[in-house]
Amino acid sequence: MKTLLFVVVGLAQVAVAVFTPFTAQAQATKAANKNVVTITIDNFSFNAKTESVAAGSQVTWISRDDVPHKIVSTDKKIVSPVLDTDGRFSYTFTAPGTYEYYCSIHPTMTGKVVVK
């Protein structure tokens, strides 16, 4: 039994050693693209509902719902196509300000991007 435990612990360590480089790489990529922000749409809500980003940031919405959503800013300047499951839409915010948006299919779904 002790031997089996030793083998299991050993395998776990190998798994950590194998996967660690990928994690480090992902973090490095994220650091290099710190002006890339993702907002997921899940269960009829934007996550995060309020997202603060630096001017020049690209925001990507990704839908995890199995119903379609369509992002529209209240000033109608940002309009996404209809996003089905795993559909994504990106927009680059160049000017500081508060950008409120909603889902035109489900108007109670609202969100906000604050650009500083």
- Residues of the shown chain interacting with Cu ion in the complex, contacts defined by CB under 5 A: 69, 103, 105-106
Judged by beta carbon, residue 57 or residue 80, the one nearer Cu ion is 80
Q: Please report how close the Cβ of residue 77 comes to Cu ion at its closest, in angstroms.
A: 19
Judged by beta carbon, residue 87 or residue 115, the one nearer Cu ion is 87
Q: Please report how close the Cβ of residue 98 comes to Cu ion at its closest, in angstroms.
A: 21
Judged by beta carbon, residue 36 or residue 62, the one nearer Cu ion is 62
Return d(Cα 4, Cα 6) in angstroms, integer.
5
β-sheet bridge partners, residue 104 = none
Q: Please report how close the Cβ of residue 36 comes to Cu ion at its closest, in angstroms.
A: 23
Return d(Cα 55, Cα 95) in angstroms, integer.
6
Task: Check residue 83 and report its DSSP letter.
Answer: B
DSSP-assigned states of every residue in 13-27: HHHHHHHHHHHHHHH
